[in-house]
Structure 1
Amino acid sequence: MTRVIVAPDKFKGSLTAPQVAAAVARGLREAAPDVDVRCLPVADGGDGTVDAAVAAGFVKVGRWVTGPVGRPVPASVAVKGTTAVVEVASAAGLTLLERPAPLDATSYGVGELLKAALDVGCTTIVLGLGGSACTDGGAGMLEALGGASFAGVDLVLASDVDNPLLGPSGAAAVYGPQKGASPEQVEILEARLRAFADRVGPEHAALPGAGAAGGIGFAALAVLGARFRPGIEVVLELAGFGEAVADASLVITGEGSLDAQTRHGKAPYGVVKASGDVPVVAVAGQCSVEPGDLGLKAAYALVDVEPDVSRCMARADSLLGVLGGRIARDWVSQ
């Protein structure tokens, strides 16, 4: 029996990774009823990391925390045994804001989620760093923790970026504008981060990942003894991808847009690297690169079925089912 692993990331603004995987699997089974499909949705450390953990057997534990501008927001920690998965985006994410707040957004809620993980006895904590609204260097997070001890805790920072804290490739310069900061506000944020780093541990500011999530990476590295890893590698381990792919005939991955950035820490490229000799194809909203450049055998885009992008987003579930059927005919029913 042909075994297919379906391991996509989310289609941002349209479907979560578990929803993408389910839609593709449905199309596969309709076209090839005998196919053995296993869904392992993934993430690169950004929003969707907790969902990927839950799909891998973790239990979601809900908490109300302080949102990026101080209002309470519902968030959650994914827990399995003594391992927890926490998302910056769920407590301090851009999607939680009605309007940008580049100078005021705080990481305080992230500290509350980390404390919740400690309170339930977790000794390994994965902190997904993507999707943040704040550029506070993690100061809010540290304030919320209030000196909570991380002795004996393995804090793993999962991210798809490895920027330093300061300078032209740092948190303020690169990501401040994406969070609504004007050029003048970027300068203010840079000065704040530099002053904070001077107080907390300037030797950590240049470490890879220190600039991730508005500098939350820096605070975690400098104060909490964290270690940095590519997010997709961490999520694939949590999902048991290595064991699952060992006897697979095909892997299907994907994300909203396959483009030049996909090679730089994004989930589909990580899936390709982790799949070894097993062929990998991808689904996407649109694809602007040659599939072979990403190590893919083929790429199937929604816009090939429905050229209108807005309709693609609105009908992504049904269109992914169509693509699943095409993949079954091209790769399974042979």
Structure 2
Amino acid sequence: MNVVIAPDSFKGSMMSLEASEAMKRGIRNVFPQAKIETLPMADGGEGTVDAILAMIGGEKIRVTVKDPLNRDIVACFGFCPERKLAVIETAAASGLPLLQPEERNPCRTSTYGTGELLKAALDRGAEQVILGLGGSATVDAGTGFFAALGTSFRDHEGNEWIPSGGDLGKVVEIDLAGLDERLKNVSITVASDVTNPLLGPEGAVRVFGPQKGIQEKDLDAFEEEMARYAEQVVRITGKDYRNTPGSGAAGGFGFSLLSLLDVTMKSGFALIAELGDMESRIRSADLVLTGEGRMDRQSLYGKVPVGIARIAKRAGVPVIAFCGSVEAELVEAEEVGIALIQPIVDEPMSLEEAMERGPELLEAAVKRVGRGMRIVP
């Protein structure tokens, strides 16, 4: 039996490489003669740097930058000197895992540190950049990122400040004159983990805002701020990307990147799958194992398990997805090619315990499913 193992990270519990190894141990325990190929995956969120460096080589560069709440932290980006390629995760400097639950406050959080990472990559000589948008703690539409690179944002009185999600609507002037000149000579590919538009019921605020700390009662106010900001950007640039797939990624970061820079936006999963030659690897498999921390409706917007399943469905290869938790009625999963969704928690326990024991629970879940497969003629 040929098995391809290609999970995303289980956020807060294990990166995709660790998840791959746990799944490999589980399937090897039941099918010791199986040919197993592990392909740690990502979709533009955390793990993107590791996944790409594993495929093309390179090194991690450590830099001191600002976290979402403007505190100094050390974050990494990937750099491949031969290609002069930098790989940057928004999650590394501006990600939700960097904050305690009580610190999640989109009125204050900023993507400034991600801009500092790009600046450090330019200092190292990067001429190509892959910028992953997944996992942010922000709804600042990337204004912090642009401020770190020299862009000025002003209100109607001419005051300059770095906007956040709670006051985006005050922006009436965006001055790109100070934007880092080196960006003119850099090719930037934006790897988005979702296809959501900027506004509306499927947009940046309403779909992703609650997990970043926006209270239900404040959603309308945040949506209005984002809408006013978007109107000003469209007026200033003459370009309207509000309904472009991915414009809602990372709290509207995708919208500002498309509007204010010359970038190419791609599905993060598709980009990494192409680098890893995923199509041909899955075609030669008998079974594909994938997974992520939580499978819900957001998983259908370009996340790794569904991307893997769509490739496998075309090749006629069954897919089993493992997860920490699953939305009760995720019936759409079968339509995209996932034969089985298997939660890894097998007994009552706290979320903290489940995350701490992630590799152990994942390995055990793969064993259970493998044993079930053995009894089928």
Q: TM-score range by the shorter chain?
A: 0.7 to 0.9
1:16 Cα offset (Å)? 1.8
> CA offset at residue 308 of structure 1?
4.0
Distance apart, 1:252 and its partner CA: 0.7
2:158 counterpart residue number: none
Matched, 1:104 2:141: no
> Aligned residue pairs: how many?
332
Counterpart residue number, 2:175: none
1:319 aligns with 2:321: no
Separation in 1, partners of 2:128, 2:29:
40
Determine the structure 1 residue equivalent to 2:187: 154
CA distance in 2, matches of 1:66, 1:200: 28
Query: In the alignment, which residue of structure 2 is the partner of 1:232?
Result: 269
Identify which range, 47-56 or 271-280, moves more after superposition.
47-56
- 1:144 is aligned to 148
Output the CA distance in 1 between the equivalents of 2:112 and 2:47.
20
Post-superposition offset of 1:18: 1.4
Q: Mark the CA change 1:181 to 1:27 in structure 2 (over 3 Å): closer, same or farther.
A: closer
Question: C-alpha separation between the residues in 1 aligned to 2:255 and 2:118?
Answer: 16
Q: Secondary structure at the match of 1:127?
A: strand
Deviation at 1:87, TM superposition (A): 0.9
SS in 1 for 2:184: coil
Q: CA RMSD in A?
A: 2.8
Distance in 1 (alpha carbons) for counterparts of 2:237 and 2:212: 24
1 CA distance for matches of 2:29 and 2:360? Answer: 12
Give CA-to-partner distance per residue, 1:191-240, whole Å, 9 cap, x none: 66236524345523332222221222122112221122222112222333
- Measure the CA separation in 2 of the matches of 1:332 and 1:152: 56
- 1:84 paired residue number: 86
TM-score by length of 1: 0.86
Equivalent runs, 1:42-53 vs 2, <5 Å: 42-53=41-52
Measure the CA separation in 2 of the matches of 1:294 and 1:300: 16
Equivalent position of 2:97 in the other structure? 95
For 1:118, the equivalent position in structure 2 comes to 122
TM-score with structure 2 setting the length:
0.77
**Matches of 2:341 and 2:248, distance apart in 1:** 32
Instruction: Give the match's secondary structure for 1:150.
Output: helix
Identify unmatched segments of 5+ residues in structure 1.
none
| Contact residue 82 and residue 121 of structure 1 kept, 8 A | yes
1:262 is aligned to 2:299: yes
CA separation of 1:299/1:175 partners in 2, compared to 1, >3 Å: closer, same or farther? closer
| Structural mapping, 1:124-203, within 5 Å | 124-146=128-150, 147-148=179-180, 149-167=182-200, 169-182=202-215, 183-184=217-218, 185-186=221-222, 189-190=225-226, 193-194=229-230, 196-197=232-233, 198-203=235-240
Equivalent AA in structure 2 for residue 175 of structure 1? F
Identity %: 39
Q: Which of the residues 329, 339, 347 maps onto 1:297?
A: 339
Structure 2, unpaired ranges of 5+ = 151-178
2:347 to 301, 306, 312: 306
8 Å contact from structure 1 (residues 10, 20) kept in 2 = yes
Report the CA distance shift for 1:209/1:36 in structure 2 as closer, same or farther (over 3 A).
same
Q: CA 1:105/1:278 → structure 2, altered by over 3 Å: closer, same or farther?
A: same
* Structure 2 counterpart SS, 1:14: coil
Q: 1:282 to 1:169 in 2, by over 3 A?
A: closer
C-alpha displacement of 1:61: 1.6
Pick from 249, 253, 266: which aligns with 1:212? 249
The Cα shift of 1:111 comes to: 1.3
